[in-house]
Structure 1
Amino acid sequence: MNEHPVLLPYTDPAFAADPFPFYRRLRDDGPVRRAVIAGGLEAWLVTRYEDGLAALSDPRLSSDVRDASDPRLLERLPATERESMLRTMLRCDPPDHTRLRRLVSKAFTARRVAELRPRIQEITDQLLDEVVPAGKADLIEDFALPLPVTVIGELLGVPATDRHDFQRWTDDMILQGAEPPDPARIDRAWQQMRSYLTGLLENKRAHPGNDLLSALITTRDEEHRLDEDELIAMAFLLLVAGYITTVNLIGTGIAHLLAHPDQLHQLRDDPGLLPAAIEEFLRYDGPVNPGIARFAREDVTIAGVSIPRGATVLVASAIADRDPAQFPDPDRLDITRQDNAHLAFGHGIHYCLGAPLARLEGQIAIGTALRRLPHLSLAVPPDALRWRSGGLRGPEQLPVTFTPGDTA
C-alpha cells in the first residue's frame, strides 16, 4: 500500500476529458487509496465495486460532515447558514434522515413520476421546436439544462421567471470545479438563495397551490413534522438536486452516442433500448465523479486497509462502475448491457430519491432528440469539448448540427 496520497490531476486537460485511464490505474493499485481530491481535500478512495457497495450501506460511515476531522469540509458550507445546510437529507443520518425522506418520498415513486411523462414530453418538444429550424444548437444551454430545470420547477411550484436566478446561485455554491471554493462567493449566493426561498414559501403560505412546496408548508405549519430551517433546507435540496445531475446525464449521454456511431444507430433503430441505454450512460460516465463522500464515525477497515475515525471516505462510484470484476469489458459503451447494477445513484438508505425522475427525463430527452434531429453530429471535434470536473462531470457545452426542419 502506497503511504503517500495520489493527487487527482484536475489541471491536466487529458484527465478532464477522460479521467478513466487514470482511474483504472488507481483501481489496479489497490482497493483503497489515499488521494487529494477537488478543493485540495484528502480522502480515502474506495475503488472496487464490491467494497463500494458495502461501504454505502455501512452505518459506521456517516453522511454528516460534522463527523469529519477536516475542518475545511464545514468551511465549504455557507458560514451564515451552516446549520441549515447540515439539515438536508443529503447530509444527515437516521433518525432525521428517515423522517425527512418519508415526507417527500411519495412524490418521487415510479408511479407518480410516470404520471409526469406527458408534461415532460411536452416540454421536450417545445425546447426542440425552438432549435429545429436553425439546424444547430448547444444541446446543454438550449436543451439539457432547461428541461430538468423546468420540470423540477413545475413540480415544486417555482415560477418560470425565477429559474435563471436560482441556477446562477447554484452555480456559485456548487459548480466551482476542482479549485478550493471561494467562501465569500458561497455565502453571498446562499444569502440570495435563502432570501428568495423565504419569500417564495411565504407567498405559497398565502396562496397555496397543487405543488410539492405547498404540501411541505402544510407539513411544517399544520403537522409540525418540519421546522422552518428544515423546510428551507428541503426546498433548496429538492430544487438543486432535481436538475443539476440530470443536465449532465442528458448531455453526457448524447455526447457519447455521437462518439460511438454504432451505438447511436442501434438506439435509433430500436428505441426500446432507451431504458438500458440510460443505465449504461450512468455506469459508463455518470454525473457524480469521482464519487460519494462519507465520514468515518470510528476507525474502520475496508478491504484490509485501516481508515481512521474522522477520515473522508470517497466511494468512487465512477471507478467502481468500471470494475471488471463486476462489469465485463467495462471500458466499452454497450447500450444492450444486462445486469447493470451501477452505483451512480448510490446505494442503501441514501439511494437517490430522484432516480425515477432522472431516468424518465433522460429517456424522453435523448429519445426525442434522436428522433427529431436528423443527421445529428458534433459541430466541433470531440477533443474540443470541455468537461466539468471536481465532483460533477458533464460537457460544459455540446455544440451540434443537424438537418434543419419545421417544428412538426
Structure 2
Amino acid sequence: MKVMLTVRAASANPFTAVRDGERDAVYAELLSTGPAHQVVGRSGPIGWLITGHEEVRSLLSDPRLVKGGWRYGTYAARLPQELARGAYSHMLLADGADHARLRKLMTSVFTRRRIEKLAPGIQRLTDDLLSACEGSDSVDLVSAPALPLPIGVIGEMLGIPRSRGSTSGDGRPRSSRPESTATRSARPPPPRCSPSPAT
C-alpha cells in the first residue's frame, strides 16, 4: 500500500519538551497537523518524525528506508573514524542482511521465557536504584535510575557482578558521550544516589 506523506516542519520539538504535560501537547499538535514532520535531533541533525499509524507501517516495510550504518551514529562525526565505526556498528544502525543476521542472534536470546526469568532481577535492581535516591533533595532521573538500570541488566545477563559494573559513583556510565572539558567543569554534579554493590 502506498501512502502519500504531507511534510511539515514541526512547530515544536517533542524531544526537547520536558515540562509537565508539554510533550503530550506537542504530540497532539503534530498529530492534528499531519503525519510527517521535520525535527532537529538531540545532537543537531535534522530528522523525520512520523506520527501517522498507516504511514509508519508503510515506511517500515519499504526497503528504501534505511538507517545508513555507523556513519549515522549520534556522535560519529565527532569521533575518530575507527572509534566511530567500532561504537556504532551494531544492529540498531544496520540494514539488510547485516541487520537480519544480528536480529536473529538477539531473538534467540531475548525469548519470552528468558525475559520472564530476568524480571525479578530487574525489579530488584529498580528497587535498589529508587531506594538509593530516598532522602535526596533532588534527583536526576536520567543519571539515576534510567541509565544504570539497563546497564545493570545487561551486566547481569553477561554474568558481570554489580560491584564491577560499568557505572560511576553517581550512577552514570563510566564511558559517556563526548563533551568538552569546559562543559564538564560547568555542569553541576548530579545527585549521588547509586545503590551499594550487591554482595
Q: TM-score range by the shorter chain?
A: 0.5 to 0.7
- Quote how far apart the aligned CAs of 1:98 are: 1.4
Matched, 1:114 2:116: yes
Higher helix fraction (1 or 2) = 1
- Which digits, 9 at most, give the CA deviation of each residue in 1:266-314, with x for residues without a partner? xxxxxxxxxxxxxxxxxxxxxxxxxxxxxxxxxxxxxxxxxxxxxxxxx
Q: Distance in 2 between matches of 1:73 and 1:144?
A: 20
CA contact (8 A) 1:86 1:92 kept: no
Among the aligned pairs, what percent are the same residue? 31
Which residue is equivalent to 1:83?
85
Question: Out of 32, 36, 41, which is 2:36 matched to?
Answer: 32
Residues 170-181 of structure 1: matches in 2 within 5 Å?
170=176, 172-173=177-178
Paired residue secondary structure (2:167):
helix
Q: Distance in 2 between matches of 1:168 and 1:74?
A: 19
- Which digits, 9 at most, give the CA deviation of each residue in 1:196-244, with x for residues without a partner? xxxxxxxxxxxxxxxxxxxxxxxxxxxxxxxxxxxxxxxxxxxxxxxxx
Question: Out of 166, 173, 178, which is 1:167 matched to?
Answer: 173
CA contact (8 A) 1:7 1:36 kept: no
With over 3 angstroms needed to count, the CA separation of the structure-2 counterparts of 1:126 and 1:98, relative to structure 1, is same
Matched, 1:56 2:77: no
- Which digits, 9 at most, give the CA deviation of each residue in 1:84-140, with x for residues without a partner? 2442111111211111222232221110111123333443454566567x5988483
Paired residue secondary structure (1:116):
helix
Name the larger-Rg structure.
Answer: 1
With over 3 angstroms needed to count, the CA separation of the structure-2 counterparts of 1:67 and 1:116, relative to structure 1, is closer
TM-score of the aligned structures, taking structure 1 as reference length = 0.34
Paired residue secondary structure (2:101):
helix
With over 3 angstroms needed to count, the CA separation of the structure-2 counterparts of 1:24 and 1:78, relative to structure 1, is farther
Which residue is equivalent to 1:290?
none
Residues 115-154 of structure 1: matches in 2 within 5 Å?
115-127=117-129, 138=139, 140=141, 143-154=145-156
- Across the aligned residues of Structure 1 and Structure 2, the Cα RMSD in angstroms comes to 4.2
Q: Distance in 2 between matches of 1:104 and 1:11?
A: 28
Paired residue secondary structure (2:84):
helix
The unaligned stretches of length 5 or more in structure 1 are: 174-181, 186-395, 398-408
Q: Distance in 2 between matches of 1:3 and 1:56?
A: 17
The unaligned stretches of length 5 or more in structure 2 are: 182-189, 192-199
Letter in 2 for 1:164: T
| Greater relative CO (CA pairs within 8 A, separation 6+) | 1
Q: Distance in 2 between matches of 1:118 and 1:48?
A: 36
Q: Distance in 1 between matches of 2:125 and 2:41?
A: 37
Which residue is equivalent to 1:330?
none
With over 3 angstroms needed to count, the CA separation of the structure-2 counterparts of 1:84 and 1:96, relative to structure 1, is same
CA contact (8 A) 1:33 1:45 kept: yes
CA contact (8 A) 2:37 2:48 kept: yes
Which residue is equivalent to 2:25?
21
Q: Distance in 2 between matches of 1:73 and 1:147?
A: 22
Paired residue secondary structure (1:45):
strand
- Quote how far apart the aligned CAs of 1:39 are: 3.6
- Quote how far apart the aligned CAs of 1:159 are: 4.5
Letter in 1 for 2:166: R
- Quote how far apart the aligned CAs of 1:146 are: 3.8
- Quote how far apart the aligned CAs of 1:8 are: 4.2
Paired residue secondary structure (1:163):
coil
TM-score of the aligned structures, taking structure 2 as reference length = 0.62
